[in-house]
């Protein structure tokens, strides 16, 4: 069982590029048709330097480009079969656009037992910065572990 000693634990940073082809595939999968996400000229006319990435794309990008996408589970000795994805949130501080190279730095920020220890909620927050060192976003996910 994961305890408070996990709080503050960091994991291997992930570096990923926001590539137009992969982003287009993501939009096609979602059925996203907004021209700001499809046309660089429309994106620029809306104040972006290039086609922007939608908010939820950062979660996918971090998972797709990680050599060890479930590293935190392995390091904390959590069985994937006992895990539920509880919550996800995104806080943006600057736009993320095609051409950016992002660095994701995840760390555990909270461990809370619930239901008399029947489950544990683990919050992993990930700071995301771009190739210029600008802190562009914070991604937070809550993992529910059935004990």
Domain locations in the chain as residue ranges: 4-146
* Structure confidence by residue, pLDDT tens digits, 58-107: 998 998 899 998 899 999 999 999 999 999 999 999 999 999 999 999 99
Instruction: Tokens for 61, please give them.
Output: 């990008």
Percent of the chain whose pLDDT exceeds 70: 100
Which helix (H) or strand (E) covers residue 121, if one does? strand 119-129
Give the predicted TM-score (pTM) of the model: 0.92
CA gap 127, 121 in Å, rounded: 20
- 4-146: what CATH class? alpha beta
């Amino acid at each position: 069982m994961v305890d408070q000693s996990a709080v503050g634990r960091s994991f291997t940073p992930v570096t990923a590029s926001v590539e137009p082809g992969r982003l287009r595939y993501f939009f096609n999968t979602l059925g996203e048709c907004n021209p700001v996400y499809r046309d660089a000229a429309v994106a620029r006319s809306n104040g972006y330097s290039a086609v922007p990435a939608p908010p939820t794309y950062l979660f996918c990008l971090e998972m797709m480009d990680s050599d060890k996408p479930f590293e935190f589970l392995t390091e904390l000795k959590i069985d994937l079969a006992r895990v539920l994805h509880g919550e996800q949130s995104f806080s943006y501080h600057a736009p993320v656009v095609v051409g950016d190279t992002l660095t994701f730095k995840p760390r555990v920020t909270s461990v809370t037992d619930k239901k008399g220890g029947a489950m544990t909620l683990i919050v992993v927050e990930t700071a995301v910065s771009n190739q210029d060192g600008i802190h562009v976003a914070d991604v937070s996910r809550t993992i529910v572990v059935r004990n």
